[in-house]
Amino acid sequence: MQNIDPGVSANNALAHPGQLGVSEWDAYALVIDARSPHEFDDDHVPGAQNLPVVDDEQYAEVGTAHRTDPHAAYLAGVEYSLRNIARHIRTLITRFDPDSRMLVYCFRGGKRSKLWADNLRTIGYRVDVLEGGWKRYRLWVRDSLDALPARFELKVLAGSTGCGKTRLLQALHAAGEQVLDLEALASHRGSLIGAIPGERQPTQKLFDTKVLEALRRMDPRRPIWLEAESRKIGNLHLPAALHEAMHRTIPVRLVAPMSERVKLWREDYAHFAQDPASMVRLLAPLKPLIGREELARWEALAAAGDVDTLFERVMTAHYDPCYDRSTKGSYDKLSEGAVIDLPSLDAQALLQVARDLARR
């Protein structure tokens, strides 16, 4: 994308990728998504505010009416639109300075965008309309995710579950390094037990948007640190080009004592420490892989409340062998990479490791 001058259609920005490390959406005081709330929740331009021309119920009503009486549908739609736009202007738009620049988009850049843009221009704001709307934006996201990962040097942290990969990423960020935390963007820690209590994963489209926006804000002259991942994080698929680029690297492998790994699980999976049986229930689909006796052992440890032994057993009996199989099959040069021994996974120890890595 390139910078969008006042009055220049954002269509040009989607057509011509520009300088990395910036985001053109920042040029606007306000980005308005004129679509209905359910469309917005599925995916939206980074930083956009949902100021729907019609809400979900109105959208459904107008759509149903249009099948039998288009004229009546347009009458209802415009009436709803004017009321909603007037409310948004009163509650939000009046806060913006007269010289503010705004971007408006809807699904295809049609009627809903025009209703918003005409009113804003009447007020005196400088307004761009995203030609082709969200549909065009979505195509640009997909094309960009196909091309962009190859332009970066990726540094991948590998290691068994619980060895502190995510925490070291956080320490690297604190040390000033560029970090792409895919699990944070996916709101999931990966694996069957990776769901985060109280958090819902974004849709696949919104996850793609988040990954692209994170990449576009990074400097291609500097490396990006990220964690080794399989093709999926929870229900979400990694962009194929990014996954392939990750697996062309020589990863840095982390090793930590089991006592530290169990401690980390107690902290990161506190809900399972409180209710270990719930974790075992989530792992029940592994029965064909681990065997009936192993699953029964986990169930017995959970019933006895022996959380530390349960966590250790789950890691040694399942996650460690699974990691060995997956990394050996995915990283051809795994044996050539550096191995970092992490005797402690506390914040200060990891920050020192991160600073050492940053200096290399």
Q: What is the pLDDT of residues 218-256, one digit of tens each?
A: 999 999 999 999 999 999 999 999 999 999 999 999 999
Instruction: Catalogue the long-range contacts made by 2-7 (C-beta closer than 8 Å, 24 or more residues apart).
Output: 3/27, 4/103, 4/128, 6/101, 6/126, 6/128, 7/126, 7/128
Amino acid present at 289: L
Q: Six-digit token pair at 242?
A: 């990014």
- The neighbour count for residue 310, using CB atoms within 10 Å, is 26
Residue 16 three-state SS: coil
Tens digits of per-residue pLDDT, 64-114? 988 999 999 889 888 999 999 999 999 999 999 999 999 999 999 999 999
Domains of the chain (ranges; CATH) run 10-143 (3.40.250.10), 152-359 (3.40.50)
Please tell me which residue in 106, 172, 182, 206 is annotated as part of the active site. Answer: 106
The rounded Cα 356 to chain-centroid distance in angstroms is 28
Please give the angle made by the CA atoms of 270, 275 and 279, to the nearest 5 degrees. 85
Q: Which residues, 6 or more positions from 132, have their beta carbon under 8 angstroms from its beta carbon?
A: 11, 14, 108, 109
Q: What is the pLDDT of residue 324?
A: 85
Residue found by looking up tokens 């761009």 in the block: 128
Antiparallel, parallel or unpaired: β 236-237 and 232-233: antiparallel
Terminal C-alpha separation, the chain: 33
Sheet holding 126-129, edge to edge: 49-50, 30-33, 101-105, 126-129
Report whether 158 contacts 330 (CB < 8 A): no
For residues 28 and 130, the answer to whether their CB atoms sit within 8 Å is no
Across the chain, the runs of DSSP E, i.e. the strands, are 30-33, 49-50, 101-105, 126-129, 154-159, 178-180, 224-227, 232-233, 236-237, 252-255, 339-341
pLDDT tens string, the chain, 360 residues long: the values are 333 333 333 444 443 344 555 678 999 999 999 999 999 999 999 999 999 999 999 989 998 988 999 999 889 888 999 999 999 999 999 999 999 999 999 999 999 999 999 999 999 999 999 999 999 999 999 999 999 999 999 999 999 999 999 999 999 999 999 999 999 999 999 889 999 999 999 999 999 999 999 999 999 999 999 999 999 999 999 999 999 999 999 999 999 999 999 999 999 999 999 999 999 999 999 999 999 999 999 999 999 999 999 999 999 999 999 888 877 767 666 677 899 999 999 999 999 999 999 988
pTM of the complete model: 0.91
Would you call 337 helix, strand, or coil by DSSP? coil
Predicted pLDDT of residue 20: 52
Note if 163 is an active site residue: no
Tokens at 293, concatenated: 């006796």
CA distance 202 to 41: 8
* DSSP-derived 3-state class of residue 192: coil
